[in-house]
Amino acid sequence: MKTILKAKLPELLEQLAKEYKVLVPAKLEGVSRFAAYRENLELALEENVTMPPKDIFFPQTEEMYKFKSKDQSLEIEEIPQDEKLQVIFGVRSCDMKSIDCLDQVFLTKGFVDPFYQDKRDKSILIALSCVKPMESCFCTSMGIDPQKGQGADIQAYDLGEKLGFEGITERGQEVLSKVSGMFAEEDAAIPSIGEFNLTADVEGLPEKLKDMFDHPIWDDISRKCLNCSTCAYVCPTCHCFDIASEVRGEDGTKIRCWDCCMVDEYTVMAGGHQPRPGKKERVRNRFLHKLRYFPERYNMLLCTGCGRCVVKCPVNLDITNVIKKLQEA
């Protein structure tokens, strides 16, 4: 295994930044998120970041293209894309799984999103293993190994005072070869993961939920929800979006931005019909999407056990408690 002292990590990132755009987990203005590496940036490596890497591939707000209307014609102008490869360091296993979920949505079933695909094709992912779960983590309940990032190009391990690196893909090995002089080669033991505070039993749940659409339990589950959408904002797998036009005279820009099924306006149809008029309908849709609809379509849960929604929900609508209630119903 290739190892390096943690104290030398900034030097390693600086070397990579000479050739790649390097994104790292960092603390910015009181919020931890992935950001472009720069000197003296405060890294956030002790625990997972508040904002997931979803924003890297599926930005919160994204210009899709520009257009100009003139007489009876319409001209379309593509938005220039960054051609530089990007190395994303420090992606935890739960977030690696979330990227897999997003890949299914944006790249499979015959529907390829070119904006998402462009960013994915230019990304080299370095997963970082976990040693101590946060109080809100339950990724192992979702079938995820916190020490192996599914789909990573490079797997990094937290070895205490050192970091260990293993190249998984050809692109990952190429990245490591460019900074090979900074590593030592040694046999290093991977630390065992600590105990998890939260668990969730999802065995058989997608199948059980097929008969629970009209179950009265949804009234109970949704009662305290505020429909604030915080859960979707910090969720690494939520992917609903809206498309709008910003027009000034003959010139305009088509913009895509995050949206959420927890918001009242999300399902309002032309003429004003609202198929999900209340909290119950919206909360039910959120949990059925994650625990039934997505598994039916993609054969995987749309929850990775990262625990962000557990931490940020202002009324403690804990998804692990929801799963427990659904299993007991």
Summarize pLDDT for 265-306 with one digit per residue, the tens: 999 999 999 999 999 999 999 999 999 999 999 999 999 999
Residue 66 pLDDT: 96
Residue 194 lies in a domain: no
Residue 59 pLDDT: 97
Query: What is the rounded distance in angstroms from the CA atom of residue 253 to the CA atom of residue 135?
Result: 43
134 and 224 inside one domain: no
Residue 72 pLDDT: 84
Residue 231 pLDDT: 97
Q: What is the DSSP string of 234-295?
A: H-SS---EEEEEEEETTEEEEEEEE--TTSGGGGPPTTS--SS-SHHHHHHHHHHIIIIIHH
148 and 217 inside one domain: no
Query: What is the rounded distance in angstroms from the CA atom of residue 87 to the CA atom of residue 154?
Result: 10
213 and 181 inside one domain: no
CA separation (Å) from 246 to 66, 91, 208? 9, 34, 44
27 and 108 inside one domain: yes
Residue 142 lies in a domain: yes
Number of folded domains that form the chain: 2
Q: Which residues contact 36 (CB under 8 A, 6 or more apart)?
A: 21, 22, 23
165 and 276 inside one domain: no
| Residues of the chain above pLDDT 70, percent | 100
CA separation (Å) from 52 to 94, 114, 151, 172, 257? 10, 21, 16, 21, 16
Residue 87 lies in a domain: yes
Residue 307 pLDDT: 98
Residue 71 pLDDT: 82
45 and 126 inside one domain: yes
| Residues of the chain above pLDDT 90, percent | 95
110 and 219 inside one domain: no
Q: Encoding tokens for residue 237? A: 């797998």
51 and 162 inside one domain: yes
Residue 81 pLDDT: 87
Helix 93-107 and helix 114-121, axial crossing angle in degrees, nearest 10: 140
Mean pLDDT of the region 257-265: 94
Is residue 51 scored above 90 in pLDDT? yes
Residue 132 pLDDT: 93
Residue 181 lies in a domain: yes
How many secondary structure helices (H) and strands (E) does the chain include? 12, 12
Residue 166 lies in a domain: yes
> pLDDT digit string (tens) for 200-212?
999 999 999 999 9
222 and 310 inside one domain: yes
Render the burial of 115-137: b for 16+ CB within 10 Å, e for the rest.
Answer: bbeebbebbbbbbbbbbebbebb
Mean pLDDT of the region 79-106: 96
Residue 158 lies in a domain: yes
Query: What is the rounded distance in angstroms from the CA atom of residue 65 to the CA atom of residue 76?
Result: 7
Residue 11 pLDDT: 97
Q: Give bridge partners of residue 185 from the DSSP assignment.
A: 2
157 and 299 inside one domain: no
Give the gyration radius of the chain's Cα atoms. 22
Count how many Cα atoms sit within 13 Å of the Cα of residue 143 in the half-sphere of its side chain.
10
Query: What is the rounded distance in angstroms from the CA atom of residue 298 to the CA atom of residue 301?
Result: 8
Query: What is the rounded distance in angstroms from the CA atom of residue 142 to the CA atom of residue 203?
Result: 10
Beta strand ranges found along the chain (DSSP E): 2-5, 21-28, 31-36, 61-70, 73-78, 86-91, 123-128, 154-158, 162-167, 184-185, 241-248, 251-258
231 and 150 inside one domain: no
Q: Which domain holds residue 8?
A: 2-58+80-185
Residue 296 lies in a domain: yes
Query: What is the rounded distance in angstroms from the CA atom of residue 133 to the CA atom of residue 200?
Result: 15
Residue 100 pLDDT: 98
pLDDT tier at 139, thresholds 50, 70, 90 = very high
Q: Encoding tokens for residue 96? A: 């690696």
Residue 196 lies in a domain: no
Q: What is the pTM of this model?
A: 0.95
Query: What is the rounded distance in angstroms from the CA atom of residue 182 to the CA atom of residue 295?
Result: 43
Residue 82 pLDDT: 86
Residue indicated by tokens 């799963």: 323
Is residue 70 scored above 90 in pLDDT? no
Mean pLDDT of the region 87-102: 98
Residue 244 pLDDT: 95
226 and 157 inside one domain: no
